[in-house]
Amino acid sequence: MAEFSLQLNEDQKQIQSWVHEFADTVIRPAGEEWDEREETPWPIIQEAAKIGLYSMDFMAQALMGDPTGLTLPVAMEELFWGDAGIALSIFGSGLAAAGIAGTGTPEQIMEWVPQCYGDVDKVQLGAYCVSEPDAGSDVSSLRTRAVYDAATDEWVISGTKAWITNGGIADVHVVVASVDPDLKGRGQASFVVPPGTAGLSQGQKYKKHGIRASHTAEVVFDDVRVPGSCLLGGKEKLDAKLAKAREGVRTGEKQPAMSTFESTRPAVAAMAVGIARAAYEYSLAYAKERHAFGKPIIMNQAIAFMLADMATEIDASRLLVWRAAWLANNGGYTNAEGSMCKLKAGRTATWVTERAIQILGGYGYVREYPVERFHRDAKIMDIFEGTEQIQQLVISRAISGLRIE
């Protein structure tokens, strides 16, 4: 077990300042432009690839080269401090990579994770496709079907996925589908859909409230045929899992989407901490500069105490994130600590960014200043990768041992 420490080690400090530098000099200055354009910021992803930040190697180093688990959340906080829409465009492929790493065989991981990133000469994207128009929180009721065609050793996938980050523009789509609808969540499997596969298309692209630089769209699977080798984990493992589920044997194994989301929760919560910190720092500086009634507005306790609360909530959120990240790598969660950090950090980001608008007054409400964007961006943190209420559900079940509905 790695020792838990609030003191980052030298490697972590180096990564923190390296990502911060990129966020400060490349991401933050471009935030407003790409928010307005509502387009994937390809040139910035390219810049991130050039310095090795957008790469499988960086993700592997952050995930596997760090027994404390803190490196990834530390990097995510800095990245999202820069600008959340652009940062999600850089991190979005990570969810597909996590889906492959979590359920794939070593051979599948070696084949497909690098293709989620490509290389400096040809940057590629990954997308993780779980949610559907009628199944977001309730991932056990997915309607997308995957049917095995034994004659050709292929899987045929049909259905529509909703809200997919990088959906339709990704090179590699990882899709969670039902192979036996009677078994609900226990009858699901994950598949890789290789680049250029016929039958996969982009549906509507959503016009969003925030993180507008990040592409979010429907993905339509119209009898998409993928080779048997694209079933993550392999057919033998799936058949054994289905047989146990049909016999009613409980294995404790999680649904593919749930285990992916659980592993990524501290990283997602760290994104929320980054957005909150950006808004806090901006409004702190503003409060020292802005004068009203002949003195800086921070000299009023009403403003200074708001900033004190903001700083406290951000630190509390980060501590929960670091605890969860450490536990995830050192023995696992015992009381849904991953959900606790996501719940707390999401709420903190939404609240802190709203307070930042308050501190800037009218200037906080207009697009010339970044805090209204931070606030629009923050709200997603209460919604995706498990809503606020779903985190509460997970926590309440863990602490009570009861199947709370």
Ligand X SMILES: Cc1cc2nc3c(=O)[nH]c(=O)nc-3n(C[C@H](O)[C@H](O)[C@H](O)COP(=O)(O)OP(=O)(O)OC[C@H]3O[C@@H](n4cnc5c(N)ncnc54)[C@H](O)[C@@H]3O)c2cc1C
- Tokens linked to 320: 């929960």
Q: Report, in Å, the least distance between residue 134 CB and ligand X.
A: 8
Q: Are 303 and 355 in contact (CB under 8 A)?
A: no
Which residue minimizes CB distance to ligand X? 136
Q: Are 336 and 398 in contact (CB under 8 A)?
A: yes
Q: Are 258 and 139 in contact (CB under 8 A)?
A: yes
Burial (CB < 10 A; 0-12, 13-18, 19+), residue 103, is buried
The residue (of 137 and 152) whose beta carbon lies closer to ligand X is: 137
| Number of C-beta neighbours around residue 316 at 10 A | 14
Q: Are 126 and 167 in contact (CB under 8 A)?
A: no
Q: Report, in Å, the least distance between residue 53 CB and ligand X.
A: 20
Contact residues toward ligand X (CB under 6 A) are 95, 128-131, 136-137, 163-165, 208, 211, 216, 380, 383-385, 387, 389-390, 393
Q: Are 388 and 347 in contact (CB under 8 A)?
A: yes
Catalytic residue among 78, 385, 388, 405: 385
The residue (of 318 and 376) whose beta carbon lies closer to ligand X is: 376
CA distance 376 to 362: 16
The residue (of 306 and 340) whose beta carbon lies closer to ligand X is: 340
CA distance 114 to 157: 23
Q: Are 338 and 328 in contact (CB under 8 A)?
A: yes
How open is the CA angle 71-379-58, to the nearest 5 degrees? 20
First vs last C-alpha separation in the chain: 35
Q: Report, in Å, the least distance between residue 161 CB and ligand X.
A: 7
Q: Report, in Å, the least distance between residue 30 CB and ligand X.
A: 19
Q: Report, in Å, the least distance between residue 146 CB and ligand X.
A: 16
Whether 289 is catalytic is no
Q: Report, in Å, the least distance between residue 227 CB and ligand X.
A: 23
- Tokens linked to 78: 């800095």
The residue (of 213 and 303) whose beta carbon lies closer to ligand X is: 213
The beta-strand segments (E) located in 239-293 are 291-292
The residue (of 115 and 131) whose beta carbon lies closer to ligand X is: 131
Burial (CB < 10 A; 0-12, 13-18, 19+), residue 55, is buried
Beta strand pairing status for 172-178 and 154-165?
unpaired
The residue (of 98 and 298) whose beta carbon lies closer to ligand X is: 98
Q: Residues with catalytic annotation?
A: 385
